[in-house]
Amino acid sequence: MNRYQRQMLLPTIGDEGQRRIASSTALVVGCGALGSVIADSLVRAGVGRLKIIDRDFVERVNLHRQVLFDESDADEALPKAEAAARKLRRINSEINIESHAADFNPTNARQLAQGCDVLIDGTDNFEARFLLNDLSVSLGMPYVYGGAVGTMGTLLTILPRTLKENSPWEQSGVVSPCLRCVFDEAPPPGAVATCDTVGVLGPLPVMIGAAEAVEAIKVMVGDWANVCRSLRSLDVWANVSREVALAKNLNVDCPCCAKRQFDYLEGDSTTRAVSLCGRHAVQILPQGAAEGESDCAACIDFQTIAKRLEPDTQVTVTPFTLRAQLPFANGVVRLTLFPDGRAIMQGTTDFSQAKTLYSRYVGL
């Protein structure tokens, strides 16, 4: 335990807190900008077991903000989960690190969360976050939510109500709204900016990821009173920070934590990927889009998405489709986007690759 001496000197941690950290298991979903900072911090803090899941691979455009990776990882196009695990094992060989180069979805979410003590958000889309939220509430497991895009970051720690009042935080009189108490529904495709369309300031994910790691450590040591249950936002360029207290904002009609409807965990509200036979293409069907239809009650804004994509790629917009060639690895994938958010990604048959590109350039 000598390597953690400086951490154990903190009265909020001490010997007992360090033992609790060492006996804890954390699941980090997404190991890009946020996730690599979170994983690095927890490994150095001495978490006993760390599970990492990420569906993407390392590219040079990642290196200005994804601190666990280097040029050799990008040159080899290593899966981020595997590249991260290699680095983390060199940082701390005494802990158990599991890497999963896979898509996080309803088919594997429960299995990945098995035996965990805290769920930590390193993702870049609301669909994955709502899936994590469903998992948190259904299993009675704390969830640390974070996001970073442009110069704006957000953070929220969720200590979910279990309705059984047998969780340690509820026994301490502490509970917080879930993510769907705060954001009732995921924004429609194209409504939210992504790092690939508006950029991201490199130090921002370091700041937000470090804050997420702090919240996870509070959960591990069981310091429920000091877990931050406010929605925090920070614009690091404009020097503006906001904090909205949510402790008493439990939504009595929340579909998730009140009505126990786990739409994302059951797969009812998740994006589907369908292989198109003979086309070397994948069709992406986001929530609310129906296969074979291109009409919708609230169509996405092609012009907004086109502005994000230009001038990096040529975009063609008609009343019926948006078309663009998206750079990926050593080639391109041709995107055809329909008004309801449905898309055909031609040039790949890999579901994870197709969903990654959709999330990057359109947004989930």
The pLDDT tens digits of the residues spanning 310-332 come to 877 888 888 878 889 988 766 88
Nearest partner of 243 among 123, 151, 121, 156, judged by Cα: 156
Q: What rounded mean pLDDT belongs to the chain?
A: 88
- What is the number of other CB atoms lying within 10 angstroms of the CB of residue 71? 10
- Is residue 195 flagged as an active site residue? yes
Domain locations along the chain = 2-245, 272-361
Reported as a pLDDT band with limits 50, 70 and 90, residue 357 is confident
CATH number of 272-361: 3.30.310
pLDDT greater at residue 49 or residue 253: 49
Please give the pLDDT value at position 101: 85
- What is the number of other CB atoms lying within 10 angstroms of the CB of residue 119? 26
Interval 64-90: pLDDT, tens:
999 999 999 988 878 899 999 999 999
Pinpoint the alpha helices (H) of the chain: 5-8, 14-22, 33-45, 71-76, 80-91, 109-113, 126-139, 168-171, 179-182, 195-198, 203-221, 302-309, 351-361
Please give the pLDDT value at position 290: 46
- Calculate the CA 155 to chain-centre distance: 12
DSSP letters, 259-277, are T---TTTTTTTS-EEEEET
2-245 CATH fold: Rossmann fold (3.40.50)
Reported as a pLDDT band with limits 50, 70 and 90, residue 279 is low
Q: Which entry of 31, 116, 181, 195 is annotated as an active-site residue?
A: 195
What the block records as the tokens of 332 is 């391109």
Interval 169-224: pLDDT, tens:
988 888 889 999 998 887 766 667 778 778 899 999 999 999 999 999 999 999 99
